[in-house]
Amino acid sequence: MASKNPPTGLFAPQIQGVLFDLDGVLTPTAVIHRRAWAQLFTTYFEAHSVDPPYTEQDYYTYIDGKPRFNGVADLLTGRGIALPLGQVDDPPGWDTVAALGNSKNQTFNEILAAEPMEPYLGVVDLLDSLEQHGIQMAVVSSSANARLVLDSAGLLSRFGVVVDAAVATAQRLAGKPAPDTFQFGANQLGLRPAACAVVEDAVAGVAAGQAGGFGLVVGVDRGTGAAALEAAGAGMVVSEMTELLP
């Protein structure tokens, strides 16, 4: 009698924990983020006669997966614009990198409050299956709104470990594409990176997983492109979370 093939992917024997990015992986909040960024920079660029105008490709090139202020700074640098960094609690506005970032966050929160949030197809089934297999789970997100989004989507109780922008700041962890936040998340689960899988939709996040020595890095293609995710270090790429079910 032929033996069954051993499980692979997130359910491979060596994987004891899974570290999920949030926006674009568990919930479609990446769509809301893109809308908020587009609203901010379309208005800002038009008001300051910046050329070329903002496009969605700017999101993937400069912003996706990074801490908010880093994304603002990188996009402005890409357009040859220099602004002072400012303070993290600058009021929403256009005078500093922080003010621009906080303007975007204000718009994001307004959209989130007005529109119900649902997990992506297959997410709940996947989390159920991982839990049944005794695989630990954490969320590692660059967002300051991770807990709010998880709660809105009914997923917060699933994760005992949530490493978000507030945790990264408090622990002085470098943001993605540095591996620090993922490594901290694995440590909070009591696991070595080699025993964990990272699930990411952004090139910066995939690069962070690859740099951190994780046992598996899964890219979720929500528009970035499989080739870009693979080039950044994804060991496998899926387009839907259902593809990760055992």
Among 180, 129, 156, 121, which residue's Cα sits nearest to residue 10?
129
Catalytic-residue membership of 164: no
β-bridge mates for residue 162, sequence order: 139
Q: Are strands 216-220 and 136-140 parallel, antiparallel or unpaired?
A: unpaired
Can you tell me the distance from the alpha carbon of 145 to that of 109, in angstroms, rounded to the nearest whole number? 8
| Cis? peptide before 177, omega within 30° of 0 | yes
Other CB atoms within a 10 A radius of the CB of residue 121 amount to 12
Catalytic-residue membership of 23: yes
Q: What is the DSSP letter of 221?
A: -
- Is 212:198 a contact under the CB 8 Å cutoff? yes
Can you tell me the distance from the alpha carbon of 23 to that of 33, in angstroms, rounded to the nearest whole number? 8
Q: Which of 23, 64, 90, 180 is catalytic?
A: 23
Give the rounded distance of the alpha carbon of 241 from its chain centre.
15
Segment (H or E) for 91: none
Can you tell me the distance from the alpha carbon of 127 to that of 155, in angstroms, rounded to the nearest whole number? 9
3-state secondary structure of 25: coil
Q: Which of 21, 58, 64, 164 is catalytic?
A: 21
Q: Which residues are catalytic?
A: 21, 23
